A and B are shown apart, each in its own frame.
Chain A
Amino acid sequence: MSEHEHHILPFKLYLKIFLSLVLFTFITVWVAQFNFGSLNTLIAMIVATIKATLVALYFMHLKYDDKTNAVCLLAGVFFLVVMFAFIAIDVASRIPLESTL
């Protein structure tokens, strides 16, 4: 890895990524008009994840980097999913209470 030269991406690619990010932002806003009930959050998160992947792969150069950096990011995401899953199991398995903060 140490002999690897810095990868220079063409301007056009950066522009394409930026334009697709804006396009996906429009899609997020457009799709939010419709009410899919509890699926709303899921759909918004999927579109956001597509955008985040584009930023990470191209703007943050993960696609061309040494894979260690990608592993580092994915490890963070993995433990985020673990945190979410276990708290969700806890919250969902509780007896509902009428609570006020």
Chain B
Amino acid sequence: MAHRITDTDGSHYAFHYKNSNHEFEASKFGIWVFLCTEILMFGGLFVGYILNSGKYPEVFEVGATFLDWKLGFLNTVILLFSSFTIALSIRNIQIGEQKKAFNNLLVTVLCGFGFMGVKGYEYSHKFHLGLLPGKFFNYTPHTAESDSHPTGEADEKPARSNASETSHVSELPKNMPMYFSFYFVMTGIHGTHVIIGMCLILWAMLRLKRGDFDPKHYTFVEGAALFWHLVDLVWIYLFPLLYLV
């Protein structure tokens, strides 16, 4: 790299920085500014979701019954674990364990695949039933089976029931498609972030194999890790809002 300066201790940095640590901190701050814009972008969706769920509570209560909280829970644990492993990989790089860092990044990417796999399973189930956003919504409840539930269970919080038993709702509230508009837009944008995060981590793995990083230079991995943690943060809020409340 032509415009990099090598210091007396072997560390290197772009010419417009004071030293390699200055470069690292400045780059990281840049990532934080970007994460801030991400929070505000997701924030708009969250504000819309919370205010509309306050206005049309029945829509969101019935909507949550179409989601399987067990799958959401599984995905939450997968993402938390992947955040844990990517944090470990940063630690590995900091203490010079390149091989372990690579393995931890690999586990993180595999968790990403696992998350998207579960998400894909949930999506295909909803596509099949016609639980689609806005005007594409074409789900019709099976009224014949709705009597199979004893009336005592009707007062139970619907969020806890199994998504495969979608027959429990005999009549859908007005504006039902709105719930699925929120569901698909929020989880869809989040899923896109997961895929982008996975690409970044794969890229970091290639660069790690190439020997680009050492305990003093790992800015790219740090940035990718921060982005991945943000994806985790968003899911931490999405899971209870969509699946449980």
The 9 closest A-B pairs by CB, nearest first: A44-B240, A76-B36, A32-B244, A18-B84, A80-B43, A2-B22, A76-B39, A72-B32, A59-B87
Is B80's CB under 8 angstroms from A21's CB? Answer: yes
Give B residues with C-beta under 8 Å from A.
18-19, 21-22, 24-25, 28-29, 32-33, 35-37, 39-40, 43-44, 46-47, 50-51, 53-55, 69, 73, 76-77, 80-81, 83-84, 87-88, 91, 94-95, 134, 157, 159-160, 174-175, 177-178, 215-216, 226, 229, 232-233, 236-237, 239-241, 244-245
A2 in contact with B236 given A60-B229, A66-B25 (CB within 8 Å): no
Closest A residue to B55 using CB positions? A91
Please measure, in the bound complex, the distance between the C-alpha atom of A4 and the C-alpha atom of B216, giving whole angstroms: 12
A69 in contact with B177 given A2-B21, A45-B237, A84-B50 (CB within 8 Å): no
Q: Which residues of B contact A72 (CB under 8 A)?
A: 29, 32-33, 35-36
- From residue 27 to 58 of chain A, which have CB atoms closer than 8 A to chain B? 28-29, 32-35, 38, 40-41, 44-45, 47-48, 51-52, 55-56, 58
Q: How many residues of A contact B (CB 8 A)?
A: 55
Q: Name 15 A/B residue pairs within 8 A (Cβ), A-sorted.
A: A11-B88, A18-B84, A22-B77, A25-B77, A29-B244, A32-B159, A33-B160, A40-B245, A45-B237, A47-B240, A51-B236, A52-B236, A59-B84, A72-B36, A75-B36
Residue A83 interfacial (CB < 8 Å): yes
Q: Which residues of B contact A66 (CB under 8 A)?
A: 25, 29
Is B91's CB under 8 angstroms from A8's CB? Answer: yes
Please measure, in the bound complex, the distance between the C-alpha atom of A87 and the C-alpha atom of B47, giving whole angstroms: 8
- Minimum CB–CB distance from A90 to chain B (whole Å) comes to 9
Please measure, in the bound complex, the distance between the C-alpha atom of A21 and the C-alpha atom of B19, giving whole angstroms: 36
Is B39's CB under 8 angstroms from A100's CB? Answer: no
Q: Which residues of B contact A32 (CB under 8 A)?
A: 69, 157, 159-160, 240, 244-245
> Out of B47, B91, B240, which one reaches A9, CB within 8 Å?
B91
Q: Which residues of B contact A52 (CB under 8 A)?
A: 233, 236-237
> Out of A14, A21, A51, A84, which one reaches B91, CB within 8 Å?
A14
Residue A68 interfacial (CB < 8 Å): yes
- Minimum CB–CB distance from A97 to chain B (whole Å) comes to 10
Please measure, in the bound complex, the distance between the C-alpha atom of A17 and the C-alpha atom of B233, giving whole angstroms: 14
16 further A-B pairs in the complex, CB-CB below 8 A; given A72-B35, A76-B35, A91-B54: A2-B19, A6-B216, A14-B84, A14-B88, A14-B91, A28-B239, A32-B160, A35-B157, A48-B237, A48-B240, A59-B84, A69-B32, A77-B39, A84-B43, A84-B47, A101-B134
Is B69's CB under 8 angstroms from A41's CB? Answer: no
